[in-house]
């Protein structure tokens, strides 16, 4: 089956056209600056051919029209007719408490997504726009939704409830949801395959470290805790997000600096984390370069980033009552031996022993042969998960 995977943001759409048999992206690309001047579509094909188109792209429907046109084009395309697209898989950020797995999109599902908009005001509206645009442009093509939150719906109440009045959970659905679920699911499965045991027998900590960062405790295949919370702001230090902070700090700063709700949100989401602490950059490569130049603030940011991950490895080993594997993924997790090395430092007492050579060589298994806990570096592939889920759902509909 060939599935067009769409990740619709407020002003951008990322896409991949995936052959689920070969597990291969036949084409991928991105439309940026939707609704702004000088929108850009960049498209590349599996054979290396690529093209960049600058155009006036007013909305998500027009953006998807451009994507379809380039996929159909003689010189840069990968399909001969729109019918070659068997299904569409949408990344949807927030499934709330409703969606514990991926779903076939119906009017009722769209209605539920609209009901959940308040939980993800920045992300769900463009996801819904993308679904509606596809419905207009490809009315016969089945669409599925794959949620960032679903994998974590297995968390028990002791993990997902906050210590605030229970009525607030009931009234506003305030609880920990967690995100990056497709990535945590994918890499924990890959780790089990690499170990050669079923996931149902393993206790795994996964660390997805990109611009956004989160960890999960995957106990015999189920997420039982994760670092992101009600929103993606909780937990680890991130490129521009603070992660864990005493809630009183926010109230205190709001009082001192006279910040509005939205200004406080911008402070914590956009001006904190690596950029806030270092004053240099939100990009880990630049932080590491600054550390190597002797920059003390960058060193603080780097140390706090790693320390928090190390702390959660211990916390999650305790939460699961054991640990078989630790997995690093995401732009930083996959590419930074420095971060992996620092996180795993002094964790021998937990059974974690890094092989420095393997870590530096970017091998997939980076622990020593004698390490009781296997440590992996596994590239994530969220688009492939979305394509494969979509395939399974559409196939089961067809055979039903
Ligand atoms: P997103 O969360 O937006 O998908 P990515 O997963 O691509 O982001 O991760 C982006 C992060 O990965 C950036 O902080 C970037 O600096 C970091 N990164 C990429 N390559 C390296 C590298 N070689 N060493 C350290 N960090 C890297």
Tens of pLDDT along 275-317? 999 999 999 999 999 999 999 999 999 999 999 999 999 999 9
For residues 108 and 125, give the distance between their C-alpha atoms in angstroms, rounded to a whole number: 16
Tokens 């991949």 correspond to what residue? 16
Please work out whether the CB of residue 235 comes within 6 Å of at least one atom of ligand 1: no
Q: What is the pLDDT of residue 116?
A: 85
Q: What is the pLDDT of residue 123?
A: 86
Closest atom of ligand 1 to CA, residue 284: 16
pLDDT, tens digit, 9 for 90 and up, residues 164-204: 999 999 999 999 999 999 999 999 999 999 999 999 999 99
Give the Å distance between the CA of 155 and the centre of ligand 1.
28
Structure-token pair, residue 258:
């006279």
E strands present in the chain: 2-8, 13-19, 24-32, 39-45, 50-55, 87-92, 103-104, 143-147, 203-209, 213-219, 222-226, 325-329, 374-377
For residues 373 and 369, give the distance between their C-alpha atoms in angstroms, rounded to a whole number: 10
Q: Is 148 annotated in the active site?
A: yes
115-140 average pLDDT score: 92
Residue whose CA is closest, atom 19 of ligand 1? 331
Q: Of the listed 86, 107, 115, 148, which one is catalytic?
A: 148
Please work out whether the CB of residue 283 comes within 6 Å of at least one atom of ligand 1: yes
Packing angle of the helix pair 247-257, 261-270 (nearest 10 deg): 120
270: buried, middle or exposed (CB in 10 Å: 19+, 13-18, 0-12)? Answer: middle
Please work out whether the CB of residue 96 comes within 6 Å of at least one atom of ligand 1: no
- Residue 122 pLDDT more than 90? no
Please work out whether the CB of residue 330 comes within 6 Å of at least one atom of ligand 1: yes
Between CA 115 and CA 125, with CA 120 as vertex, the angle to 5 degrees is 70
Helices (H) and strands (E) in the chain, counts: 15, 13
For residues 274 and 243, give the distance between their C-alpha atoms in angstroms, rounded to a whole number: 11
> Rounded to two decimals, what is the model's pTM?
0.95
Q: DSSP states of 191-231 as a string?
A: HHHHHTS-GGG-EEEEEEESSSEEEEEEETTEEEEES--SS
Structure-token pair, residue 188:
């924990």
């Amino acid at each position: 089956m060939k599935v067009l995977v769409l990740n619709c943001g407020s002003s951008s759409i990322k896409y991949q056209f995936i052959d689920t048999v070969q597990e291969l992206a036949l084409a991928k690309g991105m439309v940026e600056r939707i609704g702004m001047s000088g929108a850009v579509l960049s498209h590349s094909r599996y054979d290396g051919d690529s093209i960049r188109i600058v155009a006036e792209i007013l909305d998500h429907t027009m953006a998807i029209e451009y994507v379809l046109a380039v996929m159909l084009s003689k010189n840069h395309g990968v399909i001969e007719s729109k019918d070659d697209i068997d299904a569409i898989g949408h990344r949807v950020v927030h499934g709330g408490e409703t969606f514990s797995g991926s779903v076939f999109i119906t009017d009722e599902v769209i209605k539920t997504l609209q009901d959940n908009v308040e939980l993800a005001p920045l992300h769900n509206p463009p996801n819904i726009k993308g679904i509606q645009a596809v419905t207009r442009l490809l009315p016969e093509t089945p669409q599925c939704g794959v949620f960032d939150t679903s994998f974590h719906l297995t968390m028990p109440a002791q993990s997902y409830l906050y210590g605030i009045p229970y009525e607030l959970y009931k009234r506003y659905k305030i609880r920990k949801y967690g995100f990056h679920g497709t990535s945590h699911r994918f890499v924990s499965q890959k780790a089990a395959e690499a170990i050669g045991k079923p996931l149902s027998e393993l206790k795994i900590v996964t660390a997805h470290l990109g611009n956004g960062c989160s960890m999960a405790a995957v106990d015999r295949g189920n997420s039982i805790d994760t670092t992101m919370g009600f929103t993606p702001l909780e937990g680890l230090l991130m490129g521009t997000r603070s992660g864990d902070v005493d809630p009183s700090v926010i109230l205190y700063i709001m009082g001192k600096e006279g910040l509005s709700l939205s200004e406080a949100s911008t402070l914590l989401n956009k001006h904190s984390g690596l950029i806030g602490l270092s004053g240099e950059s939100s990009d880990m490569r630049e932080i590491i370069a600054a550390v190597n130049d002797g920059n003390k603030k960058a060193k603080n940011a780097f140390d706090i980033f790693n320390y928090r991950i190390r702390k959660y490895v211990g916390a999650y080993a305790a939460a699961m009552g054991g640990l078989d594997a630790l997995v690093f993924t995401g732009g930083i997790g996959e590419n930074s031996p420095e971060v992996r090395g620092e996180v795993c430092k002094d964790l021998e007492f937990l059974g974690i022993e890094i092989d420095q050579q393997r870590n530096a060589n970017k091998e997939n298994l980076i622990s020593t042969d004698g390490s009781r806990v296997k440590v992996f570096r596994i590239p994530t592939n969220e688009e492939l998960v979305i394509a494969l889920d979509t395939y399974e759902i559409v196939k089961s509909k067809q055979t039903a």
